[in-house]
Structures are given as C-alpha cells and as structure tokens.
Chains A and B, each alone.
Chain A
Amino acid sequence: MEATFIAALAGLTSIGAYYFGARTLGLSTAGLGAAIGKMLGSVGMILIFLAVNLATAVTVVLAVRGLTDAFVSAYVVDDAVWLGLSLIQGLAFQWWRGLPANPSAESAG
C-alpha cells in the first residue's frame, strides 16, 4: 500500500514536471530521451565510484588486518555515507567530463 502510494505520487509529479517543462518552459520533448540518457550516465558514474570506494576500503581493511595486529571491521563499508560521497564524486566527475577538453591539450594532440 505504502509502495503503491509512493510510486503513484512520484508518477504524478513526473507527469506534472513533464507538462511544466514542455508547456511552461518550452523544453524540447524530443530531447527527453537524451536527458534520460544523461541521467543514466550520471547514475552509472556514481555506481562506479561506489564500487571503487568500497573495493578500496575492503582492500585497505584486509591489508591492515594482515600487516598489523590491529582489527578493523569490514563492516566499515556498510555505511550509507559511502553512497553520499560517491554521489558527490560521480556527479563532479561526470560534469567535468562534459566540459570542453583543455584547449592546450587539444592543440597538442
């Protein structure tokens, strides 16, 4: 019931945003597919950062355990903060990639 309510509400606001964008802001409806593609690209980049962060964290934990007598719990990776940090990293990197390349690098190539 709760899931249905949330899904219905999100669907409703999505339709509202679509009509607002298309009619009030005059956005191109043909561009929606590409916009969704950009969103997926950003989500993908965030997930890549998440995977790299978690894999690195586990490697460091296991290395510390193996090389010293100290115990570090592998459950340090089980924290929602990794998702938030990966979101910041992924979006920043994705937007950076979207900028024009460095002119000096282009001329050198």
Chain B
Amino acid sequence: MSLLGRSLLVRSAGPDFLVSPASRQKLGGMGTSGRRGDRVCRLIGLVGVVAFLATAFSPLANRLNQWAAVPPELAPSDAIVVLGAWISPSGMLSLESLRRTNHGIELFRRGLAPTLVLLGGARPGGPTEADVRAEQARLHGVPADAILTEIRAHTTREEATRVKALLQSKGARTILLVTNGGHLARARPLFERAGFAVHPAPSDTFVRSDSPEPRLDLMRLLVKEFLGWLYYRVAGYI
C-alpha cells in the first residue's frame, strides 16, 4: 500500500486530529491527557480552515454578496447622496470612494436628480474626501451649483443626520442613496428614519470576485458590514 493510502486509512479511522492523545504523545507536545481547551482550539481551527478554503476556492462570497446586497431601485429623485468611504492623507480617493463617486456622477448625468450631495471628511493634514469628489464631479461636467458637500460626519448615522439638515432647506424628500450593496442594508433604514424616501443605488452591482484574494476581501467586507448592521440593530439606530 502506498504511503498516501496508509495515511488516509489512519485519518479515516476517526477524527483523531481533533483529540487523539496517543498521537499527541507521539509528537511530544501539548500534554497527554486531553488538556482542557485543546479540543475547542482544534474545532475552532477546523472551522477557520474550512471557512478560509470555502471562501477562497468557491463562489461562496459572491453568493452571500448577492443575497445580502440591496438591489437597485433607480427612480427620479430630489437628490443623489453619495456616502463617504476613505481618502488618504495625500488626497487620493480609495477605490471604494471612487466607485461611489463615479456612480453618483453617472446617475446625475442620466438626469435622475438635480442635486449631487458628496460626503466625506479628511485624514489629518489632508484634503476632505467630499472636496476631492466635488472636483472630480466638476471635471466630469456636473455644474458647481448642483453640488453640495458635507465634511463633518464620521459615521453612517451622522451622515444621515447631516444630510437631513443639509437638504431640509431645499425641500428634498426623495433621494438616490449611493454606497456599496452591503452597506445599503444599514444605511437605507437610517436615511428612512431621517425622513427620506430612499431609492437604493448600489455602486457595486456588477462587482464579482473570481479569484481567491478578491473573494477573501469581499468576505471581509461582508463580515464587517454584518457586524456594523448588528451593532446598529442592538443599539436601536435602525
């Protein structure tokens, strides 16, 4: 019998990699009497390894993204609201920020709303994300008087409050809300609570990850958004 065959027989005799004090003894580590916590560590490790492999080498992250994402409901509105993402201290917009900005500009150029609201603060010593986005929008033909910026909000909840104050004077009631599909699940109810009729406009509708690293990135984003949503639910914000 081949070495590989013999090893498979050893492993198929039972989940010895989860307990097997005898095997541990052979390897000379971790004690001999099933040290407390060993089994828990191995189970957590097994779950972690399976989750890692399933995320990297299967379409699991894409499926979860499709399931969790809020679908677009594009309709003429009073304003397009583009939520903040991230900007470097040197003034370079993150990929996520660029994607949202471009989508907001595209919606404006399609004539879906007369006002484009761009959000985003600054890193210490750098320009604000909203101002850099506004410059991008002007370069792409959006008139300066159609652009509003908000630079003080730190969280999605604060963004909803600030945008409400900003658009109240304009009498805006309906908005196209631009952010990524996962974030919309948390952002939409916040803006609805602020008194807006929200039309979701996800910026990543066509994003698909077909190689391991982008799939792992997507899963990290989904987990982050789920935890954010959970925190907002527990805190009673949504």
Contacts and interface: CB of A to CB of B under 8 A. Distances in A.
B67 to A, nearest CB: 21
B49 A40 contact: yes
A30 interface: yes
In the complex, which of the residues A3, A33, A97, A98 has the most CB atoms of chain B within 10 Å of its own CB atom? A33
A86 B29 CA distance: 21
B17 A37 contact: yes
B11 A41 contact: no
Interface string B122-163: 000000000000000000000000000000001000000000
Nearest to A18: B4
Given A71-B154, A98-B30, A44 B42 contact: yes
Contacts of A6: 57, 212
Interface of B is mostly: helix
Interface stretch (B18-26, B70-78, B98-106, B172-180): B18-26
Contact of A3 (B27, B30, B48, B211): B211
A32 interface: yes
Contact of B26 (A1, A34, A48): A34
B17 to A, nearest CB: 3
B35 A43 contact: no
A48 B16 contact: no
Interface string A1-13: 1110011000000
Interface residues on A, range: 35 or more
A19 B2 CA distance: 10
**Which interface residue of A2, A15, A44, A45 has the most chain B CB atoms within 10 A?**
A44
B10 A37 contact: no
A69 to B, nearest CB: 12
Contacts of A25: none
B38 A47 contact: no
B211 A29 contact: no
Contacts of A104: none
B95 interface: no
B20 A44 contact: no
B87 interface: no
A17 B55 CA distance: 25
A53 interface: no
B32 to A, nearest CB: 11
Interface of B: 3-4, 6-7, 10-11, 16-20, 23-24, 26-27, 29-31, 35, 38, 40-46, 48-49, 56-57, 86, 154, 210-212, 215, 220, 224, 228
Counting from the closest, the 5 A-B pairs by CB-CB distance are A34-B23, A44-B45, A37-B17, A40-B45, A44-B41
21 contacts: A2-B210, A2-B212, A3-B56, A3-B212, A22-B3, A29-B10, A30-B6, A31-B27, A32-B11, A33-B11, A33-B16, A34-B26, A37-B24, A38-B24, A38-B27, A41-B41, A43-B45, A43-B49, A48-B44, A73-B154, A94-B41
Interface of A: 1-3, 6-7, 15, 18-19, 22-23, 28-48, 71, 73-75, 78, 94, 97-98
